[in-house]
Chains A and B, each alone.
Chain A
Amino acid sequence: MPEHVSSVKSYVGIFLALLVLTGITVWVAELDLGAANDVVALVIAVTKGTLVVLFFMHVKYSTRLTKLTVIGAFLWLILLIGITLSDYASRGASDRVRGAPPEQPMQPIAGEIGDPGVR
């Protein structure tokens, strides 16, 4: 059965790339880039995860059905997080559309966005 056998060198190469990316993540976290900090951290994490999936988990050499299943997993995850966030982001929206007078806004819990005491 012709199965793709990766070389030891390729595995070690991926391993070193993962270590370097981890180092970059820690280094970038020390800098203050505002909102970009999160973006960079996530982009690097997704890159690392992709390397593990493609090469350590052999998905690059797997059948199309397997690849589809893997893509499906992350599509469902994006749905879960995305739709949940859209719910939170649109809270109170129907009141605004109806032209109802704005409700007395809920007092923010200490530490929440809107709390004048937070930096």
Chain B
Amino acid sequence: MSSSASAAPASPSEIAASLAKAGVHDHHPALQHHFDTLAQQKESATLGMWMFLVTEVLFFGGLFATYVIYRLRFPGVFAEASHKLNVIAGGFNTAVLICSSLTMALAIRSAQVDRRKAIVFWLILTVFLGSTFLGVKAYEYHHKYVEHLWPFTGDFDRGEFTPGHGRAAQIFFSLYFVMTGIHALHMVIGIGLLIWLMFPSWRGRFDSTYHNPLEMTGLYWHFVDIVWIFLFPLLYLLGAHAR
């Protein structure tokens, strides 16, 4: 097979075919030697990624357990404190993240149907949506700073909460900042991964026969979305019907 001419770089399957023809290393170029088939390699990658996500479930789970315990002890104050959060911003961010999961799924699907440029297009959109989420969070954090509801330097006894309940309100806000902060850190890492993936995607490394890095990053991204799906009602919507 001639290696001249075509503007788009050769896809993995083209490379495999030409190598097989040359009698050299007659397997798919992405197939690692310790696997028998691409399917086995993909299954292994998927399991490995899910094992990591299991640890992440327990990592966030510890924070959620803390939230449950303090929420059960201070239901009224938690509702008051939750009322201080911007439900519009939180709801908008929820929609943005759900949309980013859609664009991520479509990026992987583009690889499945051999549409190289579409992969990059959807990855760019996903990064844009993720960045929008972070921008809104920065706005929210700044607002809380200005309102003196900030960890360590905040003032929770200024009369915004039922008198004497400042300590419990401070606990709520500590949980809010730690949980959404660590979630935001996961988003930053995810965005970094997605930008990194744009380069091999553009160069045609992923196609219908092989796209594991895309799929595994997708699993990570969807997981971070699921964490937010739980964070939003538990942090933002407690005080919705209060007073």
Of B73, B104, B162, B234, which contacts A112 at CB under 8 A?
Answer: B73
Which residues in B have their C-beta under 8 angstroms from that of A12? Answer: 102
* Interface membership of B125, Cβ < 8 A: no
- How far does the alpha carbon of A99 sit from the alpha carbon of B241 in the complex, in Å? 43
Interface hits, A4-37 → B, CB 8 Å: 5-6, 8, 11-12, 14-15, 18-19, 22, 25-26, 29-32, 37
Which residues in A have their C-beta under 8 angstroms from that of B69? Answer: 84-85, 88
Q: Is chain A's binding surface mostly helix, strand, loop or mixed?
A: helix
Contact string, A91-119, partner B, CB cutoff 8 A, digits 1/0?
A: 00000000000000000011111000111
A111 touches B104 (CB 8 A): no
Beyond contacts A6-B105, A88-B72: 7 other A-B pairs, Cβ-Cβ < 8 A, are A32-B241, A37-B241, A58-B215, A69-B54, A72-B54, A110-B167, A111-B169
B73 touches A113 (CB 8 A): yes
B233 touches A73 (CB 8 A): no
Interface range for B: 35 or more
Of A26, A56, A118, which contacts B237 at CB under 8 A?
Answer: A26
A77 touches B61 (CB 8 A): yes
Which residues in A have their C-beta under 8 angstroms from that of B72? Answer: 85, 88, 113
Which residues in B have their C-beta under 8 angstroms from that of A55? Answer: 105
Which residues in A have their C-beta under 8 angstroms from that of B230? Answer: 45, 49
B98 touches A22 (CB 8 A): yes
Interface hits, B198-243 → A, CB 8 Å: 208-209, 215, 218-219, 222-223, 225-226, 229-230, 232-234, 237, 240-241
Interface size on A, residues (CB 8 A): 55
- How far does the alpha carbon of A32 sit from the alpha carbon of B243 in the complex, in Å? 10
**A8 with B98, Cβ < 8 A, contacts A1-B209, A45-B233, A69-B54 known:** no
Of B62, B218, B241, which contacts A29 at CB under 8 A?
Answer: B241
Residue of A nearest to B66 (CB): A84
* Nearest-Cβ distance from residue A47 to partner chain B, whole angstroms: 10
Q: List the 10 closest A-B pairs by CB distance, nearest first.
A: A110-B164, A111-B165, A29-B237, A29-B240, A111-B168, A111-B77, A73-B54, A15-B102, A41-B233, A73-B57
The 25 sampled A-B contact pairs (Cβ below 8 Å) are A5-B112, A11-B102, A11-B105, A15-B99, A15-B102, A25-B237, A49-B226, A49-B230, A55-B105, A56-B101, A58-B215, A65-B47, A66-B47, A73-B54, A74-B57, A77-B58, A80-B62, A85-B68, A85-B72, A109-B167, A110-B168, A113-B72, A118-B76, A118-B77, A118-B162
B164 touches A63 (CB 8 A): no
**A26 with B112, Cβ < 8 A, contacts A111-B77, A111-B168 known:** no
**A22 with B57, Cβ < 8 A, contacts A56-B104, A81-B64 known:** no
Which residues in B have their C-beta under 8 angstroms from that of A5? Answer: 109, 112-113
Q: With a 10 A CB-CB cut-off, give which of B62, B98, B215 has the most chain A CB atoms.
A: B98
